């Protein structure tokens, strides 16, 4: 029998209540990252139709360094750099590819990366592929990052320190004190990388992310995605022009990947305009966050952002509650290790403009009945 180890591994995951499977979309959307409900908005649909009518290609036909470098890619990067207040931007097919490209190529041997313990898997994979020394710091603790850099310097470290955080954590829903981490970066002549994947479009005065007030600083790199609140797909890394140039020259995930769809780039350009033109979407979403504080926080949920975790603890119990909630018509997914730490299996409730305050209240009533 072939693939014996793989069969045994899947069986062990099933026995532990941790086997991942695909499930269709059903019920009220409380699990997607389409926070501003832009994925179906007429403006993005019209942008796609107009681009097609003007001859914008569906596929790029090659890597950016070959013939895949389309005018739409360059237009998106110019507009994204202006929107996010950066000297330059470089686009990728996904935030995962962008994080992997950045952390695997730009930090050099002799450098140090201090990363928040809860950063996304894409950052972990980038660090594994890179050549810098990597050290975890306690979640949300800027002082711990400071201490790690200080200890490294004391032990003889002479390279560039890098600090890697998310601005809004995708499974805990908590916001990062970017100012505190920037102070550490300034103190140690370090670079700060802020993954704004879940904050782009939703947070900051203009929907430009939690780090919006510090855009344009030479020691700041941000990742901003289009596939979540902006309703389409892809991502951009924004920061100093030298970072962009180095990624083009050295980042294997960029060099050896077929370029993203020019059509997607055209739609992403329109998504930036929607965020700028329609601040009422953010206001409506923040009103839903306030409603969640009233209805879900009393049940034990953490409500700091549009991502609302309700920690259950046990893996199987979390999935039991998720199944019961889904049966009641609410698409809420259970999250288990290794996505979250052992003993913290949870429901991840995502607030989007696809739901109403009435539906949040109804979800709370269901949870009251099914929670252990």
Q: Compute the distance between CA of residue 169 and CA of residue 137 in angstroms, rounded to an integer.
A: 15
120 is catalytic: yes
**What's the CA gap between 309 and 301, in Å, rounded?**
6
Active-site pick, 212, 228, 271, 354 = 228
> Distance (Å, rounded) from C-alpha 129 to C-alpha 264?
28
Report residue 143: phi and psi, to 5°.
Answer: -65, -35
Of 79, 166, 172, 196, the active-site residue reads 166
316: phi then psi, degrees, rounded to nearest 5:
-65, -35
Which 8-state DSSP code applies to residue 40? Answer: T
Q: Where are the beta strands (DSSP E) in the chain?
A: 28-29, 88-92, 112-116, 133-137, 161-166, 191-195, 220-225, 235-239, 307-313, 330-331, 333-335, 345-350
Is 284 annotated in the active site? no
User: Helix (H, G, I), strand (E, B), or coil: what is residue 238?
Assistant: strand
CB-facing half-sphere around the CA of 348: CA atoms within 13 A: 18
Question: What six digits make up the tokens of 363?
Answer: 């979800």
Q: Is the peptide bond before 338 cis (omega within 30 degrees of 0)?
A: yes
**Residues 195, 233, 270, 315: which is the catalytic one?**
195
228 is catalytic: yes
Q: Which of 60, 104, 120, 224 is catalytic?
A: 120
Give the whole-angstrom CA distance, residue 252 versus residue 322.
Answer: 39
**Choosing from 198, 264, 270, 331, which is the catalytic residue?**
198
Say if residues 227 and 233 touch (Cβ distance below 8 Å). yes
Using a CB cutoff of 8 Å and minimum separation of 24, what contacts does 134-139 make?
139/169, 139/172
User: Any catalytic annotation for residue 33?
Assistant: yes
How far apart (Å, rounded) are the C-alpha atoms in residues 232 and 221? Answer: 22
SS3 category, 156: coil
Tell me whether strands 191-195 and 220-225 are parallel, antiparallel or unpaired. Answer: parallel
The question of whether 170 is a catalytic residue gets the answer yes
| 9 backbone dihedrals φ, ψ, rounded to 5° | -65, -45
Residue 166 is among the residues annotated as catalytic for this protein: yes
Q: Which of 170, 224, 257, 271 is catalytic?
A: 170
Tally Cβ neighbours within 10 Å of residue 58. Answer: 11
The residues annotated with a catalytic role in the active site are 33, 120, 166, 170, 195, 198, 228
């Amino acid at each position: 029998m072939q693939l014996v180890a793989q069969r045994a591994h899947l069986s062990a995951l099933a026995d532990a209540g941790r086997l991942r499977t695909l499930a269709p979309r059903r019920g009220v959307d409380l699990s997607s990252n389409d926070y501003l409900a832009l994925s179906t908005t007429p403006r993005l649909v019209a942008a796609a139709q107009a681009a097609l009518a003007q001859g914008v290609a569906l596929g790029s036909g090659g890597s950016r360094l070959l013939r895949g470098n389309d005018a739409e890619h360059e237009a998106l990067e110019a507009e994204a750099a202006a929107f996010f207040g950066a000297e330059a931007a470089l686009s990728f097919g996904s935030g995962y590819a962008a994080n992997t490209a950045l952390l695997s190529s730009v930090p050099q041997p002799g450098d140090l990366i201090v990363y928040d313990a809860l950063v996304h898997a894409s950052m972990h994979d980038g660090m594994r592929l890179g050549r810098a020394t990597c050290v975890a710091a306690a979640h949300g603790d800027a002082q711990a990052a400071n201490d790690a850099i200080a200890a490294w310097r004391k032990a003889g470290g002479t390279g560039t320190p890098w600090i890697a955080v998310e601005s809004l954590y995708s499974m805990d829903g908590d916001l990062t004190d970017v100012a505190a981490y920037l102070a550490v970066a300034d103190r140690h002549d370090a670079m700060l990388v802020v993954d704004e994947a879940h904050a782009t479009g939703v947070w900051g005065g203009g929907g430009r992310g939690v780090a919006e007030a510090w855009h344009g600083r030479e020691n700041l790199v941000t990742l901003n995605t289009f596939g979540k609140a902006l309703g389409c797909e892809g991502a951009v890394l924004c920061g100093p022009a030298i970072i962009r140039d180095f990624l083009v020259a050295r980042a294997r995930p960029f060099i050896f990947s077929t370029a993203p769809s020019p059509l997607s780039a055209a739609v992403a350009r329109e998504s930036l305009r929607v965020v700028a033109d329609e601040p009422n979407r953010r206001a409506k979403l923040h009103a839903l966050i306030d409603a969640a504080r009233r209805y879900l926080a009393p049940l034990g949920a953490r409500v700091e952002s549009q991502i609302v975790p309700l920690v259950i603890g046990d893996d199987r119990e979390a999935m039991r509650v998720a199944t019961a909630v889904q049966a009641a018509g609410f698409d809420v997914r259970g999250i288990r290790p290794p996505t979250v730490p052992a003993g913290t299996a949870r429901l991840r409730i995502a607030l989007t403009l696809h739901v109403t305050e009435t539906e949040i209240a109804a979800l709370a009533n269901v949870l009251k009945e099914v929670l252990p």
